[in-house]
Amino acid sequence: MIGIIMGSLSDQPVMQEAAKVLKELGVAFEMQVVSAHRTPELMLTYAKNARERGIKVIIAGAGGAAHLPGMVASLTSLPVIGVPILSSNSIDGWDSVLSILQMPGGVPVATVALNGAKNAGILAAQILGTSDEILAIRLDEYKEELKTKVTEMNQELSNLSIL
């Protein structure tokens, strides 16, 4: 199971993209608000108990100072994928990106693009797919669908071309 956590409910529209792709791939997940600043005890409990509850990868989204992914990564040996979120108190998202990206040695956080929760969901599924052959096949099929969509786009463009 994948744990999807975010610092505030206002992050949910972005983080929902991770949930959508995980659902499409048939991967179980849970989603919760876990604030590093407003509920540090909840964050500590979530991170420390995640493995016991069956969580295999944590996707943590946060805006502004974006401490949630790094703090969670400091408390667990599970892989943590950080999603920087462009929030109302953000400096064009750069504060969130750099807060998640610039982790000290020994506390890695895989970081996706600003508002890149969809890619975080795919990456989490790929991590699980290293030991789940059925999921790996679903991921291969997903990638093939991406190729098909590009082929269809090119066909559409060629129909517009005048020679």
List binding-site positions for substrate: 8, 11, 38
CB 122: neighbour CB atoms within 10 A? 22
Picking from 21, 9, 29, the residue whose alpha carbon sits closest to that of residue 112 is: 21
State the binding site: 8, 11, 38
Show Cβ contacts of residue 30 under 8 Å, excluding neighbours closer than 6 positions: 1, 2, 3, 4, 55
Helix spans in 1-132 (H): 12-25, 40-49, 68-75, 94-101, 117-129
Structure tokens, 118: 């969809």
Task: Let me know if 79 is exposed, middle or buried by CB neighbors in 10 A (0-12, 13-18, 19+).
Answer: middle
Distance CA 139, CA 95 (A): 32
